Amino acid sequence: MEKLKHIQGSIVSIPVNDIDTDQIIPARFLKVTDKDGLGKAAFCDWRYQEDGETPNPDFVLNKPEYQGASVLIAGNNFGCGSSREHAPWALLGAGFKAVISTEFADIFRNNSLKNGLLPIVVDAETQQQLFSLAEEDPSTTVSVNVEAQTLTLPDGREVGFPLDGFSKYCLLNGVDQLGYLLALDDAVQSFEADNPQRVATKA
């Protein structure tokens, strides 16, 4: 995972509540055994016409003025549904570095943080302001300071957002969480010594 300290980028909005992971990446793209090439399948059924290839000109991600956007502003409860980590992989593949919403589904948030995609929770007022900004001026950019946990809007207003200390450390240093768990092997062995195995799958 690459270090993620700052994000500076233009915004694009999909002001729809409850965008589920089946919309972010439909299940038929989950037959892969790696993480490559999922970006082109992001929002596939909204992004392409019936043939699955021709871009739907009405969908915001296909509009020329929003090309290159790296911060997605979404409706409430983004990423609900399936646990597929292909959802953040697809969003990263499509060039996004952060998603802003009022609420994220638990598993999506966890998966995103493990891949360097930053889920930013803001209040409804800020969300609406960003929706309006994105619609009125596609060149609108925002900046994010991960260390300070702040999102800076075009008018200079700084908005704080929650980020647990552990995830922040991993993002800032570009390390994944597995190293931390592997280093706890003594504690795990001690736990196993104190607690008999509950079920054996090989029995």
Partner 1 sequence: MTNNGRPRTLFEKVWDAHIVREQSDDSPAVLYIDLHLVHEVTSPQAFSMLRERGLQVRRPDQTIGTMDHSTPTTPRNELGIIPVADAMAAKQLDTFTKNCSDYGIPMYALGDEHQGIVHVIGPEKGLTQPGMTIVCGDSHTSTHGAFGALAFGIGTSEVGHVLATQTLLQNKPRTMAVNVDGRLGEGVTAKDIILAIISRIGIGGGTGHVFEYRGEAIRGLSMEGRMTVCNMSIEGGARAGMVAPDDTTFEYIRGRRHAPSGADWDAAIASWRALPSDDGAVFDKEITLRADELIPMITYGTNPGMGMPIDSAVPTPENETDFNKKIALDKALAYMDLRPGQKLLGKAIDVVFIGSCTNSRISDLRQAAEFIQGRKVADSVRMMVVPGSQQVKKQAESEGLDLIFREAGAEWREAGCSMCIAMNGDQLQPGQYAVSTSNRNFEGRQGKGGRTFLASPLTAAASAVAGAVTDPRVMLAGLS
Could you list the residues that contact partner 1 (CB under 8 A)? 15-18, 20, 22-23, 26-28, 30-35, 45, 50, 52, 75-77, 80-85, 103, 105-107, 110-111, 114-115, 164-166, 169, 176-178, 180-182, 184-185, 187-188, 191-192, 195, 197-203
Residue with smaller CB distance to partner 1, 33 or 136: 33
Q: Judged by CB, which is closer to partner 1: 128, or 150?
A: 128
For the beta sheet containing 150-152, the strands, ordered from the edge strand earlier in sequence to the opposite edge, are 118-121, 98-101, 71-74, 6-14, 141-145, 150-152, 158-160
Instruction: State which amino acid sits at residue 70.
Output: S
Q: How far apart are CA 153 and CA 126, in angstroms?
A: 9
Compare residues 82 and 140 and give the one whose CB is closer to partner 1.
Answer: 82
If the CB atoms of residues 15 and 154 are measured against partner 1, the closer one turns out to be 15
156 vs 165, beta carbon nearer partner 1: 165
Smallest distance, Å, CB 68 to partner 1? 27
Among 66, 69, 78, 67, CA closest to 8: 69
| Token code pair at residue 200 | 């054996």
Through-space distance between the first and last CA atoms of the chain, rounded to whole angstroms: 38
Shortest Å, Cβ 93 to partner 1: 13
For 74, which DSSP code? E
Between 76 and 152, CB nearer to partner 1 = 76
Tell me how far, at minimum, the Cβ of 17 lies from partner 1, in Å. Answer: 5
Write the DSSP symbol of residue 95.
T
Residue type, 93: G
CB of 63 to partner 1, least distance (A): 19
Closest contact distance (angstroms) between CB of 160 and partner 1 is 17
Find the shortest distance in angstroms from Cβ 20 to partner 1. Answer: 5
HEC sequence for 96-158: CCEEEECCECHHHHHHHHCCCCEEEECCHHHHHHHHHHHHHCCCCEEEEECCCCEEECCCCCE
